[in-house]
Structure 1
């Protein structure tokens, strides 16, 4: 019986565990769906137990899969850190990373701590903007790396994860369906705003945008006033707000795709910094959510 867990198998395993969808997992690791399925089969043969329960409609992770996920994350982090440190032992200079404010607040602190541990001489600059502005900054070489949010049918870059969108409001929010729906949203051109407004246009519900900002903290504060609803990705919803999907005439929302982009003329060290982000993004997201639940 084999006793080694291959790195490539673990990467594909974690991708399936994150997406619970073989097609999306395959996209995220740049392989075909059939190749990823074969990798999972090989890994299940190595561990001797099923890692996923699969039906035609869904994929769920087994208790064995959950246990392996903990070790797989540790193994990949150690592997990537070792390679990065050996290949670039004296990495230095400046790397400019851009992200929307919600993801910059939620996951970048944990990601940056990993980068700092691997490359203590690198100088990291963080820019918070909406996705269209971040992509323009990449094109103009004002950024080296960007974390961007896309509609699921308009994905570009290297996929990090998919996230469901939810309508959110304060715990005490009450709204008469006959009243105009007050909205607190991200600025124009932000994809979550566009998805929310397009979904409302398909209904008879009257609405108005009462307030918009690119700050997740200001959106939370405004929603806590209790007079409006907003839209957030599942991982970004703070404990102070509640999900109100399906209430007061609110239509269903689609999900969004989170992806990683690099400048065409990337700075030295950008490739292995982006590799670190790709390797630790999912675990950083889950860790941030656990911290919120237990904090």
Structure 2
């Protein structure tokens, strides 16, 4: 009996969660041709097609959907075992710094797993803006860092790339005429620059209707219906959804976050960085207007 290669399953899972071979290639750090070869190897092992053409892309076949369930289970067991052996004797203090985008999405589940497998490690969690966190990291206060990327760094262990989206209050009307009200964080902010640059380049009339130094304030402004914002799918839910397509808003670039590990970090920090690199790319799915109305 053949055993599933965890690397093949990770690539398969990256495709299933990202929806394209290109996304899977970026998520696992391989070329598109290498990802295609991996999928072909997996199909040979299974003995059935796992992907089927759909328009310009591909979707999972029924066999692919079935394998997806097993792949998640296999990788979870594999990850738990690896972390348990790595963390059984680890102790000391470990500082993690990250933006609120991740702190409010799937980070808590990953930290729960890390704490269970590293029971003697004290975790110091710092949540804030990228600039302040980076300064603390440069001073040696933070061991593992997740912030908006400002170029390749020698200690970068993973690049987390996610689409920026226009977001608005769920079920609230957004003005389709006149100046578009937008909510942004105080500068410097990569999301703010991306939003205003996209609107300026498209000649789209807008005004800054709300500003905040924190993501919680930005959320409140969007939920109230007074403005829309540019962010990732990680802040969707609880009254925030994708902005209506009727607004014909300009396309936004991907948001890139850098996962960095302090040079000469101990084994516990390295294990946490690996866990986050594998687990954080999973973000909430974006629902269409029709799906939100169901």
Q: What are the ranges of 5 or more consecutive residues in structure 1 without an aligned counterpart?
A: none
Indicate the SS of the match to 1:202.
helix
Q: Is the 8 A contact 2:162 2:232 kept in 1?
A: no
Q: What are the ranges of 5 or more consecutive residues in structure 2 without an aligned counterpart?
A: none
Indicate the SS of the match to 1:106.
coil
Q: Deviations over 1:72-92 (max 9, x none)?
A: 122122212212222332111
Q: Mapping of 1:230-249 within 5 angstroms?
A: 230-248=229-247
The structural deviation recorded for 1:31 is: 3.1
What is the aligned partner in structure 2 of residue 169 from structure 1? Answer: 169
What is the aligned partner in structure 1 of residue 269 from structure 2? Answer: 270
Change beyond 3 A, Cα 1:208–1:14: same
Change beyond 3 A, Cα 1:243–1:79: closer
How far apart, in 2, do the equivalents of 1:111 and 1:91 lie? 17
The structural deviation recorded for 1:273 is: 1.0
TM-score, normalised via structure 2 length: 0.83
**What is the number of equivalent residue pairs in this alignment?**
284
How far apart, in 2, do the equivalents of 1:144 and 1:260 lie? 11
The structural deviation recorded for 1:110 is: 0.9
What is the aligned partner in structure 2 of residue 253 from structure 1? Answer: 252
Q: Mapping of 1:143-292 within 5 angstroms?
A: 143-150=142-149, 157=156, 158-169=158-169, 171-175=171-175, 177-178=177-178, 180-248=179-247, 250-283=249-282, 285-286=283-284
Indicate the SS of the match to 1:208.
strand
How far apart, in 2, do the equivalents of 1:126 and 1:206 lie? 40
TM-score, normalised via structure 1 length: 0.83
Indicate the SS of the match to 2:93.
strand
Say whether residues 1:114 and 2:113 are aligned partners: yes
What is the aligned partner in structure 1 of residue 122 from structure 2? Answer: 123
Q: Is the 8 A contact 2:183 2:208 kept in 1?
A: yes
Q: Is the 8 A contact 1:102 1:215 kept in 2?
A: no
Say whether residues 1:52 and 2:51 are aligned partners: yes
Segment of structure 1 superposing worse, 46-55 or 97-106: 46-55
Q: Is the 8 A contact 2:209 2:226 kept in 1?
A: no
Q: Deviations over 1:145-188 (max 9, x none)?
A: 1223449xx6774134523412323533342622x333211232
How far apart, in 2, do the equivalents of 1:249 and 1:56 lie? 23
The structural deviation recorded for 1:115 is: 0.6
How far apart, in 2, do the equivalents of 1:204 and 1:121 lie? 56
How far apart, in 2, do the equivalents of 1:125 and 1:210 lie? 36
Alignment RMSD (CA, Å):
2.9
Change beyond 3 A, Cα 1:229–1:164: closer
Q: Deviations over 1:104-139 (max 9, x none)?
A: 111221111111111111111221223344334333
How far apart, in 2, do the equivalents of 1:281 and 1:241 lie? 21
